[in-house]
Amino acid sequence: MQVHELQFRWPPMDIAERPCLGTEEEVENLLADSALDPLQGWPSRPLKGQFIPFREEHVMSQAVSASLNRIVDRVESVAASLENALALLAQVQERLSESEERLATQPIACQVTLHDLDSELYRLRQPLCICIEEYEEETVARFPEAEVYASAATEGEAIDLLKREIVQLYEELQQADPKELGRRPKQWRTLLNRLIEADGQADHPK
């Protein structure tokens, strides 16, 4: 049997020419793990490093993937924040609508000072403060201390009616037997006696 000497080139290509990128130590480890075929001068099984992608492309792919993941997370976070903001805005709009409804039903109130009762029989000892409440369809004039009120289409009409109601209550209380009056009517009588007096020589109701 004739034995031929075989010339090998090992490694079959320079490390720098190999289709994988890695450190010299990584390539040497791959070569050490591979079995050499003495007839072909090539490893009997593929080197692991031959199928490793280029390091630059691998790193870039990982960087792009990480960036995309961060973008997706940021978009999801913004979407959640936007959803919360929309829910809060809906609550604010609902409360605003409720406030507008309450304001629409509440009157515009103010105070007016009376200096007379438009009566030939009685006059005021001192100015009298009353409350005016303007609603959409009517105006109400009140004298809260005596629980007297009157309503009309306009403020002037409501005030005139209130003056008549005050005079009528004053006369009724003056004509009533004090012993038959309740606690509140007695207080009204005391208050009206302090505010109202007979005008001129007119007879004061008893």
Coil, strand or helix at 40: coil
Contact 186, 179 (CB under 8 A): no
pLDDT at residue 192, rounded to an integer: 93
Per-residue pLDDT of the chain (206 residues; tens, 9 = 90+): 444 444 444 444 444 444 444 555 655 555 555 444 444 444 444 444 444 444 566 667 777 888 888 898 889 899 989 999 999 999 998 888 888 777 777 778 899 999 999 998 999 999 999 999 998 889 999 999 999 999 999 999 999 999 999 999 999 999 988 888 899 999 999 999 999 998 764 444 44
pLDDT at residue 7, rounded to an integer: 44
Q: At what angle do helices 183-195 and 155-175 cross, to 10 degrees?
A: 110
Please report, for residues 109, 132, 133, 143, 158, the alpha-carbon distance to residue 152 in angstroms, rounded to integers and kept in the order given.
15, 11, 11, 15, 5
pLDDT at residue 57, rounded to an integer: 63
pLDDT at residue 29, rounded to an integer: 59
Please report, for residues 12, 126, 167, the alpha-carbon distance to residue 20 in angstroms, rounded to integers and kept in the order given.
14, 109, 112
pLDDT at residue 31, rounded to an integer: 52
Boundaries of every domain in the chain? 15-51, 54-106, 108-198
> Measured between alpha carbons, how far is 114 from 141 in angstroms, rounded to an integer?
11
> Measured between alpha carbons, how far is 125 from 159 in angstroms, rounded to an integer?
18
Question: What is the value of pTM for the model shown?
Answer: 0.50
pLDDT at residue 24, rounded to an integer: 57
pLDDT at residue 53, rounded to an integer: 46
